[in-house]
Structure 1
Amino acid sequence: MGFQILVDADACPVVPEIEHVAKKYGVSLQLFCDTNHVLSSEVGDVHVIGAGADAVDIAVANACKKGDVVVTQDYGVAAMVLGKGAHAVYVVKKARRSSKKMHLKGPCKRTAENDERFAEKFERLIHSLVEVCK
């Protein structure tokens, strides 16, 4: 495969959906997290980065190459990887605030519908990139 998927996985709400798509299309998956968000994956490689301001963000940006797909909730990471010629999938925090009801304790929780919508769009992107690489 000519590209890989890199995920800024610190508190990323859609890791299972990303793993499913990566496995389905046989795309290499790299998950980056700090020591406060250690996770495991049967599909991808997990890179645990020392805790520190922006340490994971910098590791993701340094690891990506032109044509890779990077999933992040950080606008700065998205901007850096776009500058390298990678595809940025920006998981917008606003999507979690889509309810018209006011929540004084922060954004409302993600719904299964939010995750399904993400999975559909993400799979379309990966499918199109796989087709281009053939």
Structure 2
Amino acid sequence: MKIIVDADACPKTVLSICKNIGGQYVVPVWTVASFHHVIESDHHIVVGGDSQEADLKVINLTQAGDLVITQDWGLAAMVLGKGAAALSPGGREYRPGQMDFMLEERELKAKLRRSGGRTRGPKKRTAENDQAFEAALGRLLEKLHTTNL
């Protein structure tokens, strides 16, 4: 089991929480990001700057039983299909039953933006967001750790 972080757009506090909790559970933390980002990690993979290149690397690294941290709904759907778990930096666990709706919502928002419309961006990250992520990560690792024993 490993934690794989889609580090291209991941907040630094989330990376730090992953490293701390991964260490507590003795689970290695892998980070994947394009060469445009400077990431401090024991297991870091640098990819090119092409669109989706980091996502493809995350998918290729992922095995059943792993945990992927990403805010990309499409990537989350792909890793769930491989038998891995997925968690957003906000602490939301992605579940297979939700993905069709989430991907449809993503497509509708993209269509609106392509036609000149605007959608809201993410809110400024708070300490409460970090606490929620840390609690969700701990719960999910505990669940995955006990099912893998």
1:108, CA displacement in angstroms?
Answer: 3.0
Unpaired runs of 5+ residues, structure 1, are 93-104
**Runs in 1 of length 4+ with deviation above 4 angstroms?**
none
CA distance in 2, matches of 1:27, 1:115: 20
The answer for the alignment partner of 2:35 in structure 1 is 35
8 Å Cα contact 1:11-1:37 kept in structure 2: no
8 Å Cα contact 1:38-1:48 kept in structure 2: no
State the TM-score, normalized to the length of structure 2.
0.74
Unpaired runs of 5+ residues, structure 2, are 91-119
Q: Alpha-carbon deviations, 1:40-93, whole Å to 9, x = none?
A: 12xx4011111111000000011101111111011111011011111111335x
Which gives a bigger RCO, structure 1 or 2 (Cα 8 Å, sep 6+)?
1
Candidates 63, 71, 89, aligned match of 2:69: 71
CA distance in 1, matches of 2:148, 2:8: 29
SS in 1 for 2:124: coil
More helix by share: 2
> What is the letter of the counterpart of residue 75 of structure 1?
W
The two structures, once aligned, show a CA RMSD in angstroms of 2.0
SS in 1 for 2:21: helix
CA distance in 2, matches of 1:130, 1:16: 20
Q: How many residues align?
A: 120
CA distance in 1, matches of 2:33, 2:57: 9
Candidates 83, 86, 92, aligned match of 2:84: 86
Percent identity for Structure 1 against Structure 2: 42
> What is the letter of the counterpart of residue 48 of structure 2?
G
8 Å Cα contact 1:40-1:46 kept in structure 2: yes
